[in-house]
Every structure is written in C-alpha cells, then in structure tokens.
A and B are shown apart, each in its own frame.
Chain A
Amino acid sequence: MNALMIKALAFAAILMIATIWVVMSLDIDIVGDSVNAITMGGALAIAVITAAVSVKYINQMKTDTASGELAEESWDGIGEYKNELPSGWAYSFLAVFLWSMWYGFAGYPINTYSQIGEYNEEVLAYNTKFEVVHKDADNATLLEMGESIYLVQCSQCHGNAGDGLDGKAQDFTSRMSKEQVLEAINNGANTLGYPMGAMPAGMAKGADAEAIAVYVAGGMKGGQPAAFGACSSCHGLDGKGNGGMSPSLVEYDATLMKYTIQNGKKGSMGKMPAFKTLITPVQEKALTVYIQSLSN
C-alpha cells in the first residue's frame, strides 16, 4: 500500500461519510430498512471499487515499461503494439456477425413491421368480431346502430331529422312526393340498377299522370286509379316492386336500400354518390331499419 492508494481510500471514505451525513440529516432510516441498507452498501462498494481500480491503473501508468512487438505504422511518433485480439471482444464480434447475417437474410425480411399489415390485422379482427356480435342483432340494436351510421354518413345531405333539408335530398319521412312521382313519369328513371332495367319516359300523361302521382304520394291508400295499370306491370299491383325486380313505391325496403347504397342515384334533386365502400352488409341492414323507422 503506497501513499497514492491511501489518499484515494481516504477520498472515498470522505465521500461515503459525506453521503451518510446527508442521508442522516434527511432523517432516513438506513439500518432498519433493508432496501436502504442494501443501497448504501452498494454505494460504498462502488466508491471503493472505483478508487481501487483508478489507483491500480494510475500506478501501472507510472511504473509499466513498454514491451512486445511494435507495428510498422507510426503515427507522429506514437506506435502500436501487435497484440492479440482480446478474446471477449473477438467472441462478441463473431456473435454480432452471425446475428447480423441472420437478421439481414432471415430476421428482417420475415419479421419486418408493416403499418399496413397492422392496419389489415386490426380491420380483420374488428370485422370478424363485428360479424359475430351482430349476427342476429335484434331490432333495437339495429335501430341504434342505424342511427349512428345515419348521423355520420347520411345526415349531411338528408338532415339530422331525415327530412331532406327542404328538398335538397330525399325526404325519409315519406316515400315519394307528388313532384318526384311526376318527375319519374315524365322523364323516366334508370339510375339504381334494378334487374327490371330502365323506366321509359311518358308511361302516363296529363290527368292520368296526375292521378297516379296523387295516389303514390299519398302512400297508395284508398281507391287505385285505373291509370296505375301502367305502373303495376313493373312495380306490382301493391307497388312493392314485384319482389325486388323494381323499386318499391311504398316503403324503403331492403332492396331499395341495397341498390341505392351500391349505385347511388341521380335524380331531379341532385346526385347521391354510391356508398358501397363505406357501408358493410350489417350496417346496411341497420340503416334500413333506421330509415324505415323515420317514415313510420
């Protein structure tokens, strides 16, 4: 033990005593609390080891003499020994090299993170759960779901109450207005894509058309005008669309909802875009329930 070591140990001791003094003044129980005791022991060990290691290397620098074979290169008079690689370093290098080969050729290509992949998983998981949960949804659930879909996707044009904002879009509180029926009779209609195909313009004229319009706009109640024969061959005697072959004139049935959502519609009021990418089959069912509830 030389003078330098004694100085270093004394310095470490002073540091420890100072630390203990600060801790004591903070009124912390060191001996009684095992965690505090271990912490203080650790601090002591770190101080002693740091001092001892520093002293060892400082001494070595003072007393060591150069030995071994020098490399040929000389950098401004500073030479370098030809030493063996330290074995710890060499093994680490080898391990990292092997890992990088695995990572570069197998790990990264196979395990790579993809934002779109995560999105696809999220959507798949949600859709699967959604289909299972709502496979046999009751009417109240569908109505509630339909309303929230309506408020997000439909209300901007058809209004929060479904009244079509004063003629800017279809009014869901009734099926068709007299003007709409006349418009269809006079100009024909073919934008929904029903199997029956295009409705030609001018199926009825003048007073006949007027009588049909009043009858259909009134919800097809009371005596049927004779002129309705022009309509019933495609729309059915009850006006319900011959089992989905042509649009129903009396209600927003499931086929009308389906074709409108799939294809959109262009009529006298303007154009409704198709919503097929934004509304799933279950949601379509829910919307049908909700929109039917608006006219009942």
Chain B
Amino acid sequence: MFFHWLEKNPFFFAAAISIVISFAGLIEIVPNFAKAAKPLVGMEPRTVLELAGKNVYMKDNCQSCHSQMIRPFKSETDRYGDYSLSGEYAYDRPFLWGSKRTGPDLHRIGNYRSTDWHENHMLAPADIVPGSIMPAYKHQFTNIADIETAYAEAVTVKNAFHTPYGPEFKRTRAAWDAHRPKVLDDAKAIAADMKNKDVKEAVANGQVPEIVALIAYLNSLK
C-alpha cells in the first residue's frame, strides 16, 4: 500500500506531512492572493517616460523616506486619498511600498500636486514647505534620464510577464526609433507646464532631463 512506501521514505513522508498541515492555508490564502494581485480593470501599464521616472525615483532613493501605500485608516485616507489596493501594484516591478514615512505618502500624489509644484519643490523644498527637511534635487534638472533602458524594461516585462504593452513594443532598434517620438511628445507635454528654460531647451532638443521623467511618474501616481 502507498503508506507503506511513504513510511520507508522519511523525506517524502515529511513532504506529505507539510502538504497535509498547510492544506487549509493553501486553499484559503493562495486563490485569494492570486485574485487580489491581478491588475485593476482598465489599468494601463506605465508609459516609457513614466518608467524612466520610476527609475529616477529609485536611483535617488525616494522610497527611503516616502511610502506608496495608503492603509485603510481614516486618518490616512483623509490626508492621502483612497486606500491602496493590491491590484494597483500589479505592474510595478519592483513595487515601491516603502516602510518609512520621513516624508508623506506619495501613492496618490498625482491627484493633489501639479507639474509646476514639483518643479518648484524639487529645486528648493524648504522654500515651498516651511520646515521641510527634504534635500534639494537640483541635479535632476541637468541629468538626462535613460529612456532607452526604460523602453528595454517595458519590452522585457512584456515578454517575461505579459504586461499589456502594445504590439509595437519589440526588441529591435527600429521599434525603439518608432516609439521614441511618443516618449518625447509626453516629455514635451510635461515641459510645457514647467518654467525652467534649460529643461525646456533640452526637451526641445530631444533629450529628457530626469526631472521631466520623474514628474511624469509622480503625476501618474493616482
């Protein structure tokens, strides 16, 4: 009989015990988790410009001081807006929940801050918010964002995880050349709301300063 065999093989016996013990957990937790982790209906993956901005966000380590996770408590939803749902992070690789709020939560920042505010704030945070200890991020106005890597990232997650980027996202130079103008158009729309002349000039010359990508990303956090 089967259990005779099982009793003589301690490894498989231990494995069978684990399955039996965790059975209730498996059938209760795993399907629920899989359901909750699906993207929300109608949710679009981030554009290439926003992905580049997300990389700037990670590069400058914003997640060390800012969370992106509004918990379902009244005190939080009063200040930051609706509580976060797990499906909202479905396309975030990695997610940037963060675990420390030296600064405020940013998960819905796009709802209540605008391009020009971010521009003023990144140059001199304490001038805009008295008492703020956030450092200035002036280098973002001169550093150029890496939109090619962001495009490659989009193509990779499309191939590896079936993130719903369109059929035009392909692993070829020609596909990138065809997509690049769209990224620059997005950047121009952001730069149109900005005042910094160097940034406007860079965008007009086909370059995307980090601040433009970062603002595109922050505006997409809704």
The docked-state distance in angstroms from the alpha carbon of A123 to that of B111 is: 21
Report chain A residues within 8 Å CB of B116. 168, 269-271
Interface residues of B in 63-121 (CB under 8 A from A): 72-74, 77-79, 81-83, 111-117, 120
Q: Does B34 contact A (CB under 8 A)?
A: no
User: How far is it, in angstroms, between the C-alpha of A273 and the C-alpha of B110 when the chains are bound?
Assistant: 9
Q: Is B167 an interface residue (CB 8 A)?
A: no
Contact A270:B193 (CB < 8 A) given known A123-B77, A168-B120, A277-B82:
yes
- Which residues on A sit within 8 Å (CB–CB) of B193? 270-271
Q: A168-B120, A277-B81, A277-B82 are in contact. Are A271 and B112 (CB under 8 A)?
A: no
**A-B contacts at CB below 8 angstroms, number:** 56
Binds A, one of B122-130, B154-162, B178-186: B122-130
Residues in A with CB closer than 8 Å to B111 are 273-274, 277-278
Interface residues on B, range: 20 to 34
Asked whether A111 is an interface residue with its Cβ less than 8 Å from the other chain, the reply is: no
User: CB distance B112 to A273 under 8 Å?
Assistant: yes
Q: Is the interface of B mostly helix, strand, loop or mixed?
A: helix
A134 to B77, CA, bound (A): 20
Query: Which residues of chain A from 68 to 108 have any CB-CB distance to chain B below 8 Å in the complex?
Result: none
Q: Do B74 and A119 touch (CB < 8 A)?
A: yes
B130 to chain A, nearest CB (A): 6
Contacts of B73 in A (CB 8 A): 119, 122
Give complex CA distance A155, B132 in Å. Answer: 12
Beyond the given A156-B117, A278-B79, please list 18 additional residue pairs across the A-B interface where CB-CB is below 8 A.
A118-B72, A119-B72, A119-B74, A119-B83, A122-B74, A155-B129, A156-B129, A157-B128, A165-B127, A168-B117, A270-B114, A270-B115, A270-B116, A270-B193, A274-B111, A275-B112, A277-B81, A278-B81
List 19 interface pairs A-B (beta carbons < 8 Å), by A numbering.
A116-B83, A119-B74, A126-B74, A152-B79, A156-B113, A156-B128, A156-B129, A157-B117, A160-B130, A165-B128, A168-B117, A168-B120, A270-B117, A271-B116, A271-B193, A273-B112, A273-B113, A277-B111, A278-B79
Residues of B within 8 A of A (CB): 72-74, 77-79, 81-83, 111-117, 120, 127-130, 193
